[in-house]
């Protein structure tokens, strides 16, 4: 990466603080810029204010607005945004738009790298 290239920016949305901190650390170790949100409402506010975010990495099971609702609202606001759903539950990927991918929890650095770079 040349000095003029900025790292791609990832918004990590996770309601469990320890998982959110660990994921943020992994994203940054992989060379991406990262910002965080503890819930969907906070994530939507950040997405509306920060035009540099290119990737949404979100948990599905959160209090209040679910991750699925966050994904739907994000794609309504920014149809081309890359979205990665991190979940420990089985999800039917065939029901998802092409720019939405699944990352099964727990995941390691290589799995996260593949998801972010795909």
Q: What is the maximum alpha-carbon separation in the chain? A: 41
Domain-located, residue 2 = no
Average pLDDT value over all residues in the chain: 92
Confidence check: pLDDT of 98 > 90 = no
pLDDT in tens, 50-65: 999 999 999 988 989 9
DSSP 8-state code for residue 94: G
Domain holding 63, by residue range, is: 9-117
Confidence check: pLDDT of 15 > 80 = yes
Pairwise CA distance, residues 31 & 54, whole Å = 14
Confidence check: pLDDT of 101 > 80 = yes
Evaluate whether 9 touches 53 at the Cβ level (below 8 Å). yes
Higher pLDDT, 24 or 60: 24
Q: What is the mean pLDDT of residues 84-100?
A: 85
Domain-located, residue 3 = no
Domain-located, residue 70 = yes
Domain-located, residue 4 = no
CATH of the domain at 18: 3.40.50.2300
Tell me the β-bridge partners of 55: 10, 82
Pairwise CA distance, residues 63 & 99, whole Å = 25
Q: What is the mean pLDDT of residues 70-82?
A: 94
Domain count for the chain: 1
């Amino acid at each position: 990466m040349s000095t003029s290239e900025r790292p791609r920016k990832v918004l990590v949305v996770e309601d469990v603080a320890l998982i959110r901190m660990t994921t943020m650390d992994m994203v940054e170790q992989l060379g991406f810029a990262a910002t965080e949100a503890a819930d969907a409402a906070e994530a939507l506010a950040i997405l509306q204010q920060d035009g540099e975010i290119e990737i949404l990495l979100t948990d599905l099971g959160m209090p209040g607005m679910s991750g699925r609702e966050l994904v739907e609202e994000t794609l309504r606001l920014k149809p081309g945004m890359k979205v990665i759903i991190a979940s420990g539950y089985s999800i039917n990927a065939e029901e998802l738009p092409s720019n939405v991918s699944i990352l099964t929890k727990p995941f390691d650095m290589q799995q996260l790298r593949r998801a972010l770079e795909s």
